[in-house]
Every structure is written in structure tokens, then in C-alpha cells.
Chains A and B, each alone.
Chain A
Amino acid sequence: MAVIEACGLRKVYGGNVALDGVDLRVEEGGILGLIGPNGAGKTTALNALLGLTPYEGELRVLGRDPWRERDRLMRDVACITDVAVLPRWIRVAQLLAYTAGVHPRFDRARAERFLERTTIRPTHKVRELSKGMVTQLHLALVMAIDARLLVLDEPTLGLDLLFRKQFYDTLLGDYYDKSRTLVVATHQVEEIEHVLTDVLFLDRGRVVLAIGTEALEERYREVAVRPEQVAAARALGPIHERQAVGRSVMLFDGGHGERLAALGEVRTPSIADLFVAVVGGQAQGAAR
């Protein structure tokens, strides 16, 4: 069953087209990475999913229209949209009590167990916590919600490496299972790319590439070309070429099979490299 189904999703702010006909489908149990440069429309897309903004086009999340039924939808959807959105004046104990008071799927005891592993105490006010601790607190809240869809928008922005690593380890270790669906928009894609089932590259409001990670591994090849093979490799039409430690690294889209192995070491490109090749290549094309 599709947890998210969007067709021709469009959003215009003033004269600015933030989303320009985005199609999207996420199946139950999927982990979608939403990747794009600043201003690509990631946050707008997520806001539409979460019922925070009206839009044009078709959009169904868990079978509901998010804009019309946000409060009902939020029983089954949890989200962290941006770091540090927890109110600074509130105490941790109040936050847990309030969430338990209004959210039928929130398990307060579970949130408390998560918090016991941290240095956050119930008497702390949010404003007394460091940025990393606020994120831990928000994560503890979200993980105590028995949600079917979890949406994360740059949840670890500005955190140090340790917190970021811990964030995803906890999330994937203690929360994620095949009955839940995850959508993550991030710049730091290398932290989650090994768990993604789908990626969606967004640029200037348009979908540049939407592909399952298995299909991606089959379709894209990266070759560290031996110096003497560079001309031969270029003849095969790589979609991108970059220099790395004295070697030309070329990215190929499909085909060529065994011929690539003769050129140098073949591997699956990282999502970050693929992103640069696909989106960066388009940007250059547009500039020309």
C-alpha cells in the first residue's frame, strides 16, 4: 500500500514556483531520502505532506488529504521539521505530560525510558538544554509515538558528528521496522544512504531522479579510470567526470557491462556523488 501518493504536486509562493509538478510514491516500509540543494523545494514538499501548507495537485498521505485533515493525520504521522522547534519555556516533564494528554498514540513510559539513557532530566527546561540534547529530547518524543509515517526535515542540522551518528543509530535500531515508513530530507546524505530504499533528487521544484536504491546500484556505475584508459572511457559517454587522487572518476548511466571493468575499478557511486553528477550536470546545462 502506498503511504504517500502525490501527483502533479505544485506550490507557488508569490511568483516563486517552489514545487513544479512533483510526482511521488512511497510504499509502506520504505525509507525515502529527499535530496536537493537549498531552495529545491524539499521543505515545501514535506510541509505539504504534513498539512502545513495548501497546494495544487493530488496528494494523499495514509489515504488522507493532509491540508484538510492535518489534526487527524497527525495521529499516525510523527515528524521533526527542523532542529530546535521545541518551545524553550517548557519543562521536559510538562512536554511529556502534554503530549500524552493530546496524543492517543504517545507512550509516555517509552519516552521516559529513552530519556533515562541521556543526561536530560524531567525538571530541565528546554532552554537549559544544548542543541544536541534538544534533538535527543525531540527524538525521544517522536520515537514514543506509534506512528506509521515519520517525516524528518534536516533533523540533525548543526549537530556534531557524535550526535548525528547516535541519532540515526537510535532511530533505526529502536524504532524503525517494516510497518513504518520514513521520509528524510537532508544534506548529510552519507549518514543514511546505506539504509535508504528510495531516493528522490529534487532541484528547483522538479524531480530530477526518483529511483529505488537497488535499481540505482544496477543502473549507475562509477569507475576510477586508469590514466591510459581515459580517452576510451570518455568515448563511452560518462554523465560526470571528476578528479580524485590523481585518477579520473567517471560515472556511467547504464549499459557497458563488462567493458567498464577493463577501464579501472568499478563500484556503485555514493548518493552524494550521483547527486552532484545528476543535479550538478543539469545546473551546468542550464547555465550554458
Chain B
Amino acid sequence: MTPEPEALRTAPAEIPAVRRFAWLLRRELWESRWIYLAPFAVTGLLLLGAVPGAFQMPAKMGKVAGLAPAAQHAALTDHYMIASLLLMATTFVVSLFYCLEALQSERRDRSILFWKSLPVSDLATVLSKTTVPFVILPLLTVVLAAVAHAVMLLLSSAVLMASGQGPGTLWARVSLPEMWLMLLYHMVTAHILWYAPIYGWLLFVSAWARRAPWLWAILPPLAVGVVERIAFGSSVLGDLLSNRFSGGPGGMGFTAASRTMDPLMQMTPGTFLASAGLWVGLVVAAGFVGGAVWLRRRRGPV
């Protein structure tokens, strides 16, 4: 019986798994600084645009004064919604780019040989990269949008007070906690859970493709769709994909209806969680991420 190798030397201090994982995440942010710089830049632009917007508030308040409370709400929360949507669109696009690069760039610059020389498993590595579109970017989006909303509201209030109108009506119609809750809910349902298979697919392609990951990400689904159309005259895959990108099972918040009625009514987690599409999508996403781990273990530099 040979002794356990490490028994021959004094055991080194273990590094707790959580702290190691935090280093993996930090590494991702070092390598891809643009994933947070882009949302920050968009937030900056939004705030810049909020300044002239605030100065139009006294006139706007006059215009909405005669409307019903629900219509007032819709009119006054308009640009807060736009700010949220812009930020969400930004981080969504950033997530797409990030996922496609995540497991590709380390193989292209051969640094995978260095990363693999360290005692970090392929599972931990892929999970750290998965955490970026699933946790870090949504969180960043919510925080930045919340800050933008708060600054916009404060600016508007200040202008209204200076004009002698007082911000009372504005505050009565625009509720920050309500908007933040909606945003958070929409991020979790749509951007994390509903889009999960999109991120999963891109991570998988990123681990698989030797080059041109964009082509590999787009062409195979496109080809399958075309073949399906020619062979069966149907468009099941196309419908599935367009539903994944722009539709959804409902109950995710932020639909067209949310502008005319109480937006909190849009949050129906029951409807959302009862949708088969959600769960199928999550299983598919898990499959793709698992595939990426499998590939990370086997693929070397390209």
C-alpha cells in the first residue's frame, strides 16, 4: 500500500471553494472589461439625456394634469421604461458577445495551457464563465437601472421644486420601488430563465468551434430551419427560436399591456412557471453548459 502522496509533505492551507470561485469571476472581469464598461457607458448617456428631460418636466406635468391617474402613470413612467429597456438591451447584447468569446479566446491565444496548469477544474472554469451572463450582468443591469431611475427622479423633482410646482404628483405616480421590483422580476424571468438556452448554446459553440464562432452559432440553426422548410414546408424551429427571442410564455412583465394598466398585474409567476417552454429551455441550457464542460476538458489550443 503506497501512502497517499500528500501525506509526505505538510498539507498546504486549503483555499475555500467560494474564495477560489470569486477569483475565477474576478479573472473574467479582468479579461473582459467591456462587459461592465458598456453598461456603465450606456448609463452615463442615459443620465446625460435625463438632464434636458428634467427641464421639460414642468411643461409635461401641465400636459398630463387633466389625465386619469392610470394615464398619468403611463405618461410619467415612459422614459424610466425606456431607460430600463436600453440597459437591458445593452447587457443582452454584451452577454451574447461574451458567451461566444468565453471559451474561445483562451484557446485562440493558447492561454488555456496556462489556465489548465493551475489546480482549477474545467467544471469550475465553465461555471465561472456561465455566472457572468446568468448572475453578474443581470445584477449589474438592475443596479445601474435603479441608480439611473433614482437620479432621473431626483433631477425631475429638483426642477419641479425650482419651478414652484412641487414634485407631489410626480412622486405619487412614479414609484421607484415598484419600478425596481418590475425590473428585477423581468430580469430574472426573461433575461435569466427564458434566455438561458441562448446563453447555453453560445457557450457550447464557443467551446466547440475552432474558429468563426459566430458562423457556428448562427448557421446550423439556420440550415436546419431551411431544410425543415424545404422538406416539410413547416417552420417549427423558426417559430421556436423567434418565440425564444421575442415572445415568451407570458407572466414575464414588460409587455405592451403594462403601459396601460397596473404593471404589477403583469407579474404572474404562476403563468410563467407553469409554461413547459420554460422548463424545456432550462434543461436544454443545462445540457449545453454540460457539453461545454465536456469540451473544455478535451479541447486544446486552436
* A residues whose Cβ falls under 8 Å from a Cβ of B: 1, 47, 50-54, 62-64, 70-76, 78-82, 84-91, 94, 97-99, 101-105, 138, 146, 148
Contact = CB atoms under 8 A, between A and B. Distances in A.
A53 B113 CA distance: 12
B239 interface: no
Contacts, number: 96
Given A94-B30, A105-B12, A63 B2 contact: yes
Given A50-B117, A101-B20, A103-B118, A86 B5 contact: no
Interface SS majority for chain A: loop
B131 interface: no
A86 B12 contact: no
A247 B232 CA distance: 81
Contact of A101 (B23, B31, B117): B23
B110 A71 contact: no
A64 B5 contact: yes
A98 B26 contact: yes
Contacts of B118: 74, 99, 102-103
A72 B4 CA distance: 13
Nearest to B12: A104
Given A76-B5, A90-B30, A104-B14, A84 B110 contact: yes
Nearest to A127: B109
Contacts of A78: 117
Nearest to A76: B5
Nearest to A83: B110
Contacts of B112: 85
Contacts of A80: 117
A101 B15 contact: yes
B110 A72 contact: no
A163 B204 CA distance: 40
B10 to A, nearest CB: 10
29 contacts: A1-B2, A50-B116, A50-B117, A51-B116, A53-B298, A53-B300, A63-B2, A63-B5, A70-B121, A70-B122, A71-B119, A74-B118, A75-B119, A78-B117, A79-B117, A85-B111, A85-B112, A87-B31, A89-B31, A90-B30, A91-B30, A97-B23, A98-B27, A99-B118, A101-B20, A102-B15, A102-B20, A102-B118, A146-B12
